[in-house]
Amino acid sequence: MKPAHWILIASLYVTQFLPVSFFFMGLPAILRAQGKTLEEIGALYLLGFVWVFKILWAPLIDRVSFGRLGHYRGWLIVMQTAMVGMLLIISQIDGLGNFPLLVMLGLVLTVFSATQDIATDAITCRLLPAETRGIGNSIQVAGGLIGIMLGGGATLSLYPQIGWAGCFLLMAAVLCACLVQILFFKEPSIGGGGVVQQRVPYSRIWRIWREPGMGTWALLMMIVPLGVGMIFAMLSPMLVDIGWSLEAVGFTLNIVGSLVGLAAVSVTGVLIKKFGRRPILIATAFIQAAIILSVLPLASGSTALAMILPGVVLVFLIYNPVATVMLTIMMDRTTLGSEGTDFTVQYSLYSFMGFLSGAVALQVAGAAGYPVIVALAAVLAVVAGLLAIRLYRAEPRSPSLDHDVAGSYAAAAQARG
């Protein structure tokens, strides 16, 4: 694959997470400083469910082409342009004074971002051969982390100097730089023809689960994100409860955590390419359990930095590698011609379980305490590891899970059309 393609993939994942992370991580701090209630700020987090329900229009992305603009390339151009336009509009409104309008425009922006993500995932599936998908998904996760650092960290830090309009104009400028890359990108077509033609029915959303091995794989996608998702959701309130300032929590989780995650995913991609999906999936699942238990001192109320910081850092060290190997296998489970739908269906299930686990963990922790949730999360991580072993026993030559034969799966998928 050309170097320009790697750069484009990274840019797409950075830019689609950049404005969304500002809404989810930077804007809440600004709104709280302006006196907004927690209930009002909570409305922003409901926008995240757009990324879960994007499954509803994923087949449309696979079916509709844009003529000379290309198929997925056309969607990327339209959505990137739409996001730039929406950022320019938001920069000109009084978002702090007219909060309902801000939420409405934020919803539209999130829909554009989620739609671009469908097209980005599809074009990434098509560009990446099986042997480089581990590295490709490392770039995907890393791009999201960089987007979070820029949108939730850097842009927020610049807010006192450049103000409301400046923040949104700056994000629009970054997206414009990526748009230029898309305009110079030549989209690969099916079978080497001139036009990409797609006829993906909406029934593909549930038909994909009928394919061999998808039942066990679906169960694994539901279990894997539970343990680490529960811990991830509790990190902020646990740190606040032991007396950390909001600034310290934000810096540790958004900046330090993201940097640790970047280092971890870069290594994960190389390991997947060298050893294959199977050992990395099983290893990360069981390592999760040990790392989750390292958070027990924090969950028990310890304030000693030497006791709690290693656990916090280790959560980021495993959270992103787990996502990387899972996303890699999701790509292997896509069929040529319906990449957007196939990947989105799987990712929606995976991300929904992550959202759900975090919400449930916070509710249960209020009644049972943090240590109980940590213990439960560790048990779920062990279950995920055992389930991963079972999956491989059921599919000893599963091309979607073994990089040595992943190419045969792609060939079979192309033959099915």
Let me know the angle formed at the C-alpha of 346 by 392 and 358, rounded to the nearest 5 degrees: 100
**Contact (CB, 8 A) for 310 and 257:** no
| pLDDT at residue 150 in the model | 84
Q: What CA–CA distance (Å, rounded) separates 266 from 327?
A: 14
**What residue type is 74 in one-letter code?**
G
Is the pLDDT reported for residue 170 higher than 60? yes
Task: Pick the closest to residue 237 from 48, 337, 91, 365 (CA basis).
Answer: 365
Q: What digits encode the pLDDT tens for the residues 39-79?
A: 677 677 677 778 878 888 988 888 888 888 888 899 999 99
Query: Running DSSP on this structure, what letter comes out for residue 93?
Result: S
The pLDDT, as a whole number, for residue 361 is 80
Rounded distance, CA 200 to CA 413, Å? Answer: 14
Q: Residue 263: its pLDDT value, please?
A: 87
Predicted local distance difference test score (pLDDT) of residue 5: 85
What's the mean pLDDT in 254-276? 85
What would the mean pLDDT of 351-358 be, rounded to a whole number? 81
- pLDDT of res. 38: 57
Distance CA 384, CA 282 (A): 8
Query: Would you say residue 147 has pLDDT above 60?
Result: yes
State the Cα–Cα distance between residues 141 and 138, nearest whole angstrom: 5
Fold for 3-186, please state it: Growth Hormone; Chain: A; (1.20.1250)
Q: Is the pLDDT of residue 201 over 50?
A: yes
Q: Which of 196-200, 270-274, 407-411 has the lowest mean pLDDT?
A: 407-411
Judged by average pLDDT, the poorest of 136-150, 158-172, 381-395 is 381-395
What is the C-alpha to C-alpha distance for residues 178 and 87, in angstroms, rounded to an integer? 15
Measured at the CA of 21, the angle between CA 321 and CA 56, to 5 degrees, comes to 80
pLDDT of residue 138: 85
* pLDDT higher than 70, residue 390: yes
Residue 360 to residue 366: CA distance in whole angstroms = 10
Name the residue with higher pLDDT: 102 or 131.
Answer: 102
Pairwise CA distance, residues 409 & 330, whole Å: 12
Mean predicted confidence (pLDDT) in 133-154: 82
Identify the pLDDT of residue 256: 83
pLDDT of residue 400: 40
Mean pLDDT of 380-409: 61
If pLDDT is split at 50, 70 and 90, which confidence band does 276 have?
confident
| Side chain identity at residue 158, one-letter code | L
Query: For residue 213, is it left (φ>0), alpha (ψ between -120 and 50) or beta?
Result: left
Alpha helices in 128-256 (DSSP H): 133-148, 155-183, 204-207, 214-241, 246-250
Highest mean pLDDT of the ranges 36-50, 164-178, 179-193, 327-341: 164-178
pTM to 2 decimal places: 0.74
* Residue 370 to residue 398: CA distance in whole angstroms: 39
DSSP state of 23: I
Confidence of residue 1 (pLDDT cuts 50, 70, 90): low
For the chain, helix, strand, coil in percent to 5 are 85, 0, 15
Closest alpha carbon to 78 in 115, 125, 132, 43 = 115
Domain with CATH 1.20.1250.20 in the chain: 3-186, 204-416
Domain 204-416 in CATH 1.20.1250.20? The answer is yes
- Residue 405: pLDDT above 70? no
Task: Name the average pLDDT for the chain.
Answer: 82
- The runs of H, that is alpha helices, within 92-154 are 99-127, 133-148
